[in-house]
Amino acid sequence: MTPEQSFSRWVKIALSIFFVLFIYFVMADNYMPMTPEARIQRYVVPVSARVSGQVSKVDVTNNQQVTVGQRLFELDDSDYVLAVKRSELALSHAKTEQQKALSALAEVKAESHQTALQADEQAREAARIARLHRQGHMSLQQLEQANTKVSLAREANAVSKAKNQEVEQSVLAAGISVEEAQVALDQAQLALARTQVYAESNGRIGNLQLRQGQHANAGQPLMALISDQAWVSADFREKSLRHVAAGTPVDIVFDALPGQVFAGHVTSIDSGVREGQQAADGLLAQPVSSDRWVRDAQRLRTHIALDEDWPPLATGAKATVQLYPIDNPIFYGLAAMQSRVISVLRYLY
């Protein structure tokens, strides 16, 4: 074989290999996509006190595992205890004033009832005198005196009724004062309870920025609570997700665990990306200016859950995700081979 023939042969072999690899990568990208742009995600909740005060005790350390209801730290509650006592005294005083108003109301009601009885009695007496006057047994002066007594008794009854309404308003105001004092007491007790801060979910403490004696302001983040609930977020080119839906099986290879392949499934695919969101600022649209013939492909975020126990990996740990969108034994076998090869290569990089 001449050198020219040998060279021509190797060129054909190289072109054939290139063509085969090209076809393989195109098929793989459409029917068994893989991405190294994946990482573990967890909910991270900033922990802060809801009231201000000096930290009197810290019950946790950095990276400590905590459970729901476990106390994290507490603030000096001296001022809040005094506020509760002050509110209790205010409530007691308001209740005393309410009892006084109720007693006054009972007294006024009794007085009103008495004046009403007196007015009725005077009216009956005046009617009797008027009847005797018509018969000539009573003088006109006696009749006028009786009518005057009736008018005075009715006026006294009217005054008593007005006083009764006034006292009823006082009782209503006293009741409102009691409710306000009760609300103030509840608020003071709530503030006192909030001097002790508890974990609201299971997780691990991170970025602890708290020491005894430090002053903590309400709403100031002092530590992070990293939830135990985890998932994998993977970014795929949008054309690679044509055959992917919730429930699509996946293989996951974590960079920190080379040689191991974990099974999972797709839970959801994001419905958009930030670049596709246009702010309603009243300005005209600004088209993207580019002279590139081939632009970067848009990626969509895919959320994945593990079908087995989560390994003890940090939040943000990177991974490679292999999808199985097509129920085909050939594609399935090739995809499984890809994920196993990647898991072995993780020993090298």
Position 123 scores a pLDDT of 65
Radius of gyration of the chain measured on its C-alpha atoms: 43
Which residue in 247, 234, 237 sits closest to 327, CA to CA?
247
52 and 217 Cβ atoms separated by less than 8 Å: yes
Give me the residues of the chain with pLDDT under 50, please. none
Q: 59: exposed, middle or buried (C-beta count within 10 Å: 0-12, 13-18, 19+)? A: middle
40 and 303 Cβ atoms separated by less than 8 Å: no
Position 149 scores a pLDDT of 64
Could you tell me the pTM of the whole model? Answer: 0.68
Long-range contacts of 156-159 (CB under 8 A, 24+ apart): 156/115, 156/118, 156/119, 157/112, 157/115, 157/116, 157/118, 157/119, 159/115
The torsion of the CA quartet 239, 244, 245, 246, rounded to 10 degrees, works out to: -120
Position 11 scores a pLDDT of 81
Would you call 54 helix, strand, or coil by DSSP? strand
Within 8 A by CB and 6+ apart from 22, the residues are none
Give dist(CA 234, CA 320) in Å, integer.
8
